[in-house]
């Protein structure tokens, strides 16, 4: 009978582990932020948390110097600059294709607690802005429709607006909270692990190119 209690204990342990909820918070507002929450444990995936430096011991003979005023660092927007408008459109197009295939089963087990995408489209002049606006709308709206329709969601919104100011830059803001369970992730990894890895490599190549 002892082996039966041990077996039941192991089964109960794995059942509890697999039932643990996972929540991912993703935000992009000039800087990218991603936080993972597994049960009650929060992990910041990006940006990496800087390590605290140990303060250096000052010599007694040295007079304490006034700290130099800190310069306010401007948010880094390298991702959008490196990608460019054509790269951004290409990226959205590729994700749309993948969402219809590999990611369909993955998205079916994810709940969207909140989803908000805001894009302000700019260009060299009014005509260029209008062309860019049309390109982005033709890709982003089908993409979000394909992704959102394949998931359960509580709230979502997509807002794309043209900025006809001469020389205006395209700006993107994004916020989303996704929720699932470890059991679903284990099932997906066993079924689509290799395909998902291939997809990530393709997306990396799109960004690099």
pLDDT digits (tens, 9 = 90+) for 173-203: 999 999 988 887 787 777 766 766 776 676 6
Q: Give the residue carrying structure tokens 């992990």.
A: 43
Instruction: Say how many domains are in the chain.
Output: 1
Give the number of residues written for the chain: 209
Residue 60 has pLDDT above 70, yes or no: no
Number of Cα atoms under 13 Å in the Cβ half of residue 82: 11
| 33 strand-pairing partners | 27
Q: Is 60 among the domain residues?
A: no
Residue 134 has pLDDT above 80, yes or no: yes
State residue 74's pLDDT score.
Answer: 47
Q: Is 111 among the domain residues?
A: yes
pLDDT digits (tens, 9 = 90+) for 68-78: 555 544 444 55
Residue 120 has φ and ψ, to the nearest 5°, of -110, 115
Q: Is 69 among the domain residues?
A: no
State residue 105's pLDDT score.
Answer: 67
Q: Report the range out of 4-13, 52-61, 131-140 with the highest average pLDDT.
A: 131-140
Q: Is 54 among the domain residues?
A: no
Q: Is 64 among the domain residues?
A: no
Q: Report the range out of 14-18, 103-107, 183-187, 191-195 with the highest average pLDDT.
A: 14-18
State residue 52's pLDDT score.
Answer: 67
State residue 111's pLDDT score.
Answer: 87
Q: Write down the pTM of the prediction.
A: 0.62
Q: Is 193 among the domain residues?
A: yes
Can you give the residue range of the structural domain that contains 84?
A: 20-48+76-208
């Amino acid at each position: 009978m002892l082996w039966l209690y041990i077996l039941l204990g192991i089964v109960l342990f794995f059942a509890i582990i697999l039932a643990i909820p996972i929540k991912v918070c993703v935000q992009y507002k000039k800087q990218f932020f991603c936080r993972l929450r597994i049960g009650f444990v929060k992990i910041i995936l990006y940006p990496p948390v800087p390590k605290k430096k140990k303060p250096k011991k000052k010599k007694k003979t040295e007079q304490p110097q006034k700290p130099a005023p800190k310069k306010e660092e401007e948010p880094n927007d390298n991702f959008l600059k490196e990608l460019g408008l054509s790269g951004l459109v290409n990226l959205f197009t590729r994700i749309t294709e993948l969402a219809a295939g590999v990611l369909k089963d993955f998205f079916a087990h994810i709940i969207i607690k909140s989803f908000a995408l805001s894009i302000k489209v700019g260009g060299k002049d009014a005509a260029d802005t209008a062309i860019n606006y049309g390109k982005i709308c033709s890709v982003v709206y089908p993409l979000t429709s394909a992704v959102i329709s394949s998931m359960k969601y509580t709230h979502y919104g997509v807002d794309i607006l043209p900025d006809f100011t001469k020389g205006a830059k395209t700006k993107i803001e994004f916020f989303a909270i996704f929720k699932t369970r470890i059991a679903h992730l284990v099932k997906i990894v066993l079924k689509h692990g290799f395909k998902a890895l291939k997809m990530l490599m393709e997306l990396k190549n799109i960004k690099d190119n």
